[in-house]
Every structure is written in C-alpha cells, then in structure tokens.
Amino acid sequence: MSSPMRIGIAGLGTVGIGVVKLIRKHARDLERRSGRKVEIVAVSARNRKKVRGIVLSGYEWVKDPLDLVNNPDIDVIVELIGGSEGVARDLVTAALMAGKHVVTANKALLAHHGHELALLADKQKVSLCFEAAVAGGIPAIKALREGFAANDIQAVRGILNGTCNYILTNMRESGRDFRDVLKEAQAKGYAEANPAFDVDGIDAAHKLALLTALAFGIKPDMDSLETTGIRHITASDIAHATELGYRIKLLGLCRREGTRLIQSVEPCLVPEQSALGGVEGVLNAVQVRGDFVGQGWLVGRGAGEGPTASAVVADLIDIARGHRVPVFGIPARQMKVGNFASTDILEGHFYMHVVVRDQPGVLAQIAAILRDHKVSVEAVLQRGRDPGKPVSIVMTTHKVKQADMRRAASKISGLSLVKGKPCLMRIEQD
C-alpha cells in the first residue's frame, strides 16, 4: 500500500461531521478501494466548544482554517465552510497555490469563481473536486464530466433544490399555501431560518451554472442565468395544475438553441406521469440529453449529512487513486464565454392564472389581448360565479414564443378588472 492520504477539514457543520463519521466507519473499505489509507489530520471550525455528537479529540484543532494550508502533513484540504467570498475563497485559493488538492461542497464559490480556481488547479497540477456541490449524493458532476464525455450535450435540466421540491410536494398533498408549508419545512430542518437562497432559486442557480459549465465547456456565468423562485406559487396554482394533469416543479435548465445557450431557474409545469413529475419530496433529479446516449437520468437525495458526505468522500477516493481530471472536464484555458440568449426566444406551451373581478366582459378583454399577441388558448378553467368578487381564470396555451406570452401577460395585468400580476409558467414536456 502507498503512504496514507492525509486531509484537513475546514467546517464542521452537518456535512463536515458526516465526512468524519463516514471516514471512520468505512476506513477499511476506503483503503481497499483507493489503495491508501485516508486519514484526518486536522480540523477547523468557528466554535470548538459546540456539541457535535462526535469525539474530535484525536485530531489537531486549528483555529484559523488557513493554517491547514501551512501544515506539511496535510495533502488535501476539504472546504465545507461555504460562501462565495471571504474565508472559503481565501482557503481554496491558498491551498491550490500551495499545491494541495481541494475537495469542496461550495457551489456558490465555484459558480462565481470556478474558472479562475480551475486555472489555478491546472497550473499547479492538483485536483479541485466538487461532486458534493450539486445534488448531494447524486453523482451528477462525475456523470457529466466523465460518463457523458463522449457526447455532444444538447440539454441539461433538473430538480436541483430539495427544499423547494419538498414545499411544492407538501402544498399539493395538503392543499396549504406556501407560507404555512415553509414554516413546517423550517421546523423539520428542511429549510433554513432565512430561506431566501432556496425559495428564491439562488441555490439552484449556483448548481445549474456548474452543470452548464460542465455540459457545454464554458465558464460558469451567473449573470446570464434568469432566476425565478417559488414564493408566488399559491395553493390554487397547485390545485389547478393537478386538475390539468401537471405538477409544478422548480426546474434548472440549460439547452442549446441553434448557436446560443439558454439557462434559467424557474417554476414550470411538468406532466404528472413524467419522470420529473414523479420526483417528490426532498429528492433531486438531473436529466442529460446527449446526441449518442439520448436521455440519461439521475435521481436521489440532494442534501443532508449522509448524501453530501458520501459525495465528498467519493472525491477523496479519486484523489487517493491518483485520478485527476480537469475541473470542468476540459483544460480551464480552453473554456469559453458562453453565447447566451434570453428565454424570450423559447417557444412552448404556457399556464396562466389570472385573478379577476367577476363581471361581464372580462374574459373577452383577456381573449382580445391574447389574440393580439398571437397566443392561442388550448384549455380554460373557470369555476363558479361571484359577481363583483375575485375569481380565477386559468388557461393553457398552444405553442407560442415566450416573449409574446410575457407581453400578453403584462398587458392583461393592466386591465382594471384584473387583480394583481398573472401567474405565468412554461409547461415542460419530457
């Protein structure tokens, strides 16, 4: 056997403790599979006195995580601090410059600074691995970078945030509104006290930026990524979608349209009986479409101590084996700036929910605006009568350009009988 691979862990939250547990429990298996012992040498976290449910006295405790870089007994830095700036960025940069391999679960850091860090890793001939940054225990990074490497990738899409998927599933099953279900998710630990990163789509956008970079050989680009969260989705939207045979999912998607790429994170309707429609609760899913492989699917737990720690240690095994590949699948110097276009150029079917005052002529006014914007209606749902009171009109459309649909919805929102902004979502087919 070769000499042990010695690691330093920065960040002892849920994932960091999971990594420690996994390495202890499967020490012999890890050694057999990688050909080397994997040993934890030192750890670092903000609060040494915090109760973590595990004994850490056997490891050197480092107050400043940057001191891990200066330890000659450490071969690999595991960065589990999080955040796109500050200590996490400083640590990863310093580790790579010092010629140490890095394993991270930090999707925000790589979404904003992935290309510059990849250039540094290439220069120093070390690994920068991030399987745990996207979809937890699902091997989405390895699949795109290696498993689908022979293909010309045409599209990547998926359910990339378990918190949002849990909320939308629970709204459908319970009939409750977003706020009530969010409070429950927070109480169960599925959502943070400040849930903005999850429910506003930012977490999913970070992950999608990395998948796009891997799939299309371009630099991660958050500025070209259109992001819409799920705060505006109501229980009635969930019920209407169900009646129409659909489920609402927050999707991250990137696809090639001619010579341009379109990437977005947004709630969409998917057929109830489709593969995406069946991904419920906290599960994540990633779909890849390639020219030779067709469609490939990966489904599993997208977060939590066990799945994320599993992904971190899988990267450690690769490093122990001496398996080093370019961070984003191709040399960083060959990565290009993406040629992105707005989702406005997409054509598709749409769902629109409009709340109106129940008075004669309102449907005719809406229909006239849709006609003027070349929108053809496929189906209409309208329940009951309550003259002068708010009622819902729900429509699905035939295929239409997204720009025309958005303009029509904007015009409809200006009608005096319309209450608030229409809820507009694209219908995604398998």
At residue 337, φ and ψ (nearest 5 deg) are: -75, 130
Question: Which entry of 107, 142, 207, 411 is annotated as an active-site residue?
Answer: 207
Angle at which helices 107-124 and 202-216 cross, to 10°: 30
d(CA 6, CA 166): 38
Q: What is the DSSP letter of 381?
A: E
Closest CA to 153 of 198, 211, 194: 211
Closest CA to 225 of 90, 303, 341: 341
| 107: annotated active-site residue | no
DSSP structure string for 59-101:
SEE-SSGGGGTT-TT--EEEE----SSHHHHHHHHHHHHTT-E
d(CA 328, CA 130): 10
For residues 163 and 187, the answer to whether their CB atoms sit within 8 Å is: no
* Two tokens, residue 183: 């409070």
d(CA 165, CA 213): 24
For residues 212 and 218, the answer to whether their CB atoms sit within 8 Å is: yes
Strands 347-357, 400-401: pairing is: antiparallel
The letter for the amino acid at 290 is G
Strands (E), 291-342: 294-301
Tell me which residue has tokens 């090639």. Answer: 256
Closest CA to 161 of 109, 222, 230: 230
Q: For the chain, how far is it from start to end, CA to CA, in angstroms?
A: 48
Q: Which residues sit opposite 288 in a β-bridge?
A: 156, 296
d(CA 30, CA 22): 10
SS3 196: helix
SS3 260: strand
The letter for the amino acid at 75 is D
Task: Name the residues annotated as catalytic.
Answer: 207
